[in-house]
């Protein structure tokens, strides 16, 4: 068994940011990664992906994006940035090492901070005083099943496997789910010549990525201290001014505003980069909820049918942390950590970084959380 002061799990932005914050304090740590490269999940994202937040407020602690990167960094630019970030701070992960289970050390029923954690990985066993979970919100794809799906003769892929609309040129493609991923994949398919339908199960807040020349992220930062009800009202007004009445295009208006969506439902509103214009132009057809599959397509909740060649499931992900840690009191029913909105460390020597969506930007939030966790670990060591 190897003893360590801090064990970080995952080399995405959250794991790297925490490692850098500890390194800057000259605090020892071990960083493990199941894959063979830094930011492995970013390497697997679809080609068109880019940040919806600006590079000025998306850099991790202590290292900014390069000057020649555009306002909204692309997927490849983010990968290059994260690789450079690791190199800059001399972060050396242990690749090919997968977390199997972390549990409080035996005989420590009170789970105090000094008790430590017994961590089993695919390679070895650790006793860690602190465990930092940084595996992210997008660890496990959610793949719903519909009646008759096994009969469908076309292709069904999850957004986790989607790379580009090139392979779907000229095909009839149904995208199920309209979060940011679904909206952007529908746009990508449309731009590559597919005939696209977009199925929306529930209402969705939609905001422009920029409004009146100001990035929504910046506006959200400026209004963060306002009451939730005021921010909701401002968000709805912005959406109405930017897009008009979207209900006529098959996009129902939610009963809650964008700030409530983030705070109470843990979802980020859709930040539009062109999908709405394509919907208005008739290039993307909005259809209601899918009820069942047939051999040639789907049956919809309004009784209608669509013949299609392929389906992209933009149905989201779950962190499923209950599979990794023996601490059910720290997780909600979705397997997400129960945290205060400040992103501070939790109790019992285990910390979570990168599990809170934010209108001011996930990467920005990760930086805040990483600093708080590093500070807490340094304070506990000095005590």
List pLDDT tens digits, range 93-117. Answer: 999 999 999 998 875 444 444 578 9
State the pTM of this model: 0.92
pLDDT of residue 61: 98
CATH superfamily of 2-139+319-382: FAD/NAD(P)-binding domain (3.50.50.60)
List, in order, residues 6 or more apart from 305 with CB less than 8 Å away.
294, 297, 298, 299
> May I ask the CATH class of domain 142-313?
alpha beta
If you compute the radius of gyration of the chain from its CA atoms, what whole number of angstroms results? 22
pLDDT of residue 259: 95
Average pLDDT for 147-156: 96
What are the start and end residues of each CATH 3.50.50.60 domain in the chain? 2-139+319-382, 142-313
pLDDT of residue 340: 54
Residue 239: pLDDT band with limits 50, 70, 90: very high
Average pLDDT for 129-145: 94
| Sign of CA pseudo-dihedral 264, 265, 267, 272 | negative
- Pairwise CA distance, residues 152 & 328, whole Å: 39
pLDDT of residue 112: 45
Cβ atoms of 271 and 52 closer than 8 Å:
yes
């Amino acid at each position: 068994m190897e003893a360590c002061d801090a064990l970080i799990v995952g080399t995405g932005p959250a794991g790297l940011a925490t490692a850098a914050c500890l390194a800057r304090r000259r605090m020892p740590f071990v960083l493990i990664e199941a894959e063979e490269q830094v930011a492995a999940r970013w390497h697997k994202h679809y080609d068109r992906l880019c940040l919806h937040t600006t590079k000025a407020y998306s850099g991790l602690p202590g290292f900014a994006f390069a000057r020649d990167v555009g306002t909204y960094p692309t997927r490849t630019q983010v990968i290059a940035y994260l690789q450079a970030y690791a190199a800059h701070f001399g972060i050396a992960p242990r690749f090919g090492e997968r977390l199997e289970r972390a549990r409080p050390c035996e005989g420590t029923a009170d789970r105090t901070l000094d008790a430590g954690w017994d961590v089993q990985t695919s390679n070895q066993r650790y006793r860690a005083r602190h465990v930092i979970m940084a595996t992210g919100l997008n660890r496990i794809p959610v793949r719903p099943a519909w009646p008759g799906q096994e009969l469908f003769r076309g292709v069904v892929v999850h957004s986790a496997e989607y790379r580009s609309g090139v392979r779907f040129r000229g095909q009839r493609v149904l995208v199920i789910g309209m979060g940011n991923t679904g909206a952007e994949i529908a746009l990508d398919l449309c731009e590559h010549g597919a005939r696209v339908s977009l199925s929306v199960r529930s209402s969705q807040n939609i905001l422009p990525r920029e409004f009146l020349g100001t990035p929504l992220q910046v506006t959200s930062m400026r209004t963060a201290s306002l009451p939730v009800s005021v921010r909701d009202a401002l968000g709805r007004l912005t959406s109405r001014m930017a897009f008009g009445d979207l209900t006529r295009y098959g996009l129902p208006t939610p009963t809650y505003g964008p700030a409530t969506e983030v705070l109470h439902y843990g979802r980020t509103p859709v930040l539009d980069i062109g999908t709405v214009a394509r919907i208005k132009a008739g290039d993307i057809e909005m259809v209601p909820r899918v009820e069942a599959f047939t051999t040639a397509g789907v049956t919809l909740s309004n009784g209608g049918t669509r013949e299609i060649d392929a389906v992209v499931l933009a149905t989201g992900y779950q962190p499923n942390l209950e599979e990794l840690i023996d601490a059910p009191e720290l997780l909600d029913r979705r397997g997400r950590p129960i945290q205060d909105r400040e992103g501070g460390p939790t109790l019992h020597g285990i910390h979570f970084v990168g599990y809170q969506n934010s209108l001011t930007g996930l990467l920005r939030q990760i930086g805040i959380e990483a600093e708080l966790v590093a500070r807490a670990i340094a304070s506990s060591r000095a005590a």
